[in-house]
Structure 1
């Protein structure tokens, strides 16, 4: 099977990360506003990175809680996914400690399977009722995920090649998908890429029945290479792709 069940949300929006773009939201209020724009354009899940008062990505409980509350108020009923990426806090033990202090919990977290200490993060959050999206950025990540034994405890897989060349990104997405199929892992999949390559990765995923993700974390540009005005702009184009290429 292709892995994306009919009841799964097909269109995810990744609002920020550390993208250098005028519309990248970093305060709870601006993140909530971009989330609302994405939902209005068709997003069914919101993925975000909270920021502290200095404009840095953070796992600290207070800005995490403030951001989740703002987004939930702006987008009632929409699932929220938070990042657990090592780029935010490279020290695995510090990361685990900070995440253990979260008071307001997201519905999901993305968990990059190639990162040191990620299993402990996954187990901690699963125990607290947070669902895990296993992030596979490479073939090595896919192999590590297969070996981890976590698949039956995860909600879905994120297939996320980081190469920016479209042909290479397509090949990487196909190879990651093949590793999962060979291992018999039938979790729902959400595919996205980086920059202009994200659009061909999205298109391939739609044709194969998978979910897709877009937003300023993934790409600052539209299909034709022009700069997006914001997350709503990107999600609107992705929704059009789903309508055109989906079943």
Structure 2
């Protein structure tokens, strides 16, 4: 099954991006109704800042699980939210409401310890590579069967450059014989070029207001659900 993941929120200024637990839960339900099969989430504190604090992550997960029963929920562990690896590990170790998965950026300090902690608590891991160097590190470490899937991310908004980055990262993991399910996404204007190609190749795709605020025709998206509808059209029918 080629998944459609929606990244509802994060480092974005789009006015429709949800921040509170109730906003995220409503938005998530609309995305699932539009065809999303996975949800990628960031929690925010009461001042609207991204947070890994257990209380904020827990409130968000509780709200979204109530609105989207049975949908796997993925929570970010992005180092930019908490740059100190020891403090990040401390915060995540305090989570009492656990996500189904986390996104683990392979180039970040401390990510292996963080992933091992969560695996020990039954949380699955998406291994995320954002550069050729990340992909090379990932294949060198091995033990790929401990991951749920591999997420290949082209973080350059230029469509042509993004496609080149995706192809280069794919080549690294293909040469190594990595057999994990793959999901791909881009950033800004590069998003739709990346996901259109990935969908043609039968890979999972991700869109959402964390990544892109426009539709394939360049018009401004009104919501995450509108992005989900556009992306769903790209996913081959089962």
Question: Under a length normalisation based on structure 2, what TM-score does the superposition of the two structures give?
Answer: 0.98
Q: Deviations over 1:31-87 (max 9, x none)?
A: 111101110110001100000111111111011110000000000111000001001
Q: Please state if 1:124 is matched with 2:117.
A: yes
The answer to whether 1:195 aligns with 2:183 is no
Aligned-residue CA RMSD (Å): 1.1
Q: Measure, in 1, the Cα distance between the counterparts of 2:143 and 2:130.
A: 16
Look up the match of 2:71. Answer: 78
CA–CA distance in structure 2, aligned partners of residues 138 and 98 of structure 1: 27
| Partner-residue secondary structure (3-state), 1:135 | strand
C-alpha distance in 1, partners of 2:115/2:82? 16
Partner-residue secondary structure (3-state), 1:177: helix
Q: Is the 8 A contact 1:196 1:222 kept in 2?
A: no
- Structure 2 residue corresponding to 1:91, chosen from 79, 84, 96: 84
**Structure 1, unaligned runs of 5 or more:** 1-5
1:173 equivalent in structure 2? 166
- Contact 1:196-1:223 at 8 Å conserved across structures: no
1:10 Cα offset (Å): 1.4
Paired residue secondary structure (2:126) = strand
Tell me the number of residue pairs that the alignment of Structure 1 and Structure 2 aligns: 238
Aligned pairs for 1:35-54 (under 5 A) are: 35-54=28-47
**TM-score by structure 1 length?**
0.94
Q: Displacement of 1:242 after TM fit? A: 1.5
Distance 1:193 1:159 in 2: 9
Structure 1 partner of 2:234:
241
Post-superposition shift, 1:150?
A: 4.1
Q: Deviations over 1:90-147 (max 9, x none)?
A: 0000000000000000000001000111111111111111000011111011111112
Displaced runs of 4+ in structure 1, greater than 4 A? none
**Could you give the per-residue CA deviations for residues 4-47 of structure 1, whole angstroms, max 9, x where no partner exists?**
xx3xx511110001211001111000011110111011000110
Which residue does the alignment assign to 2:103? 110
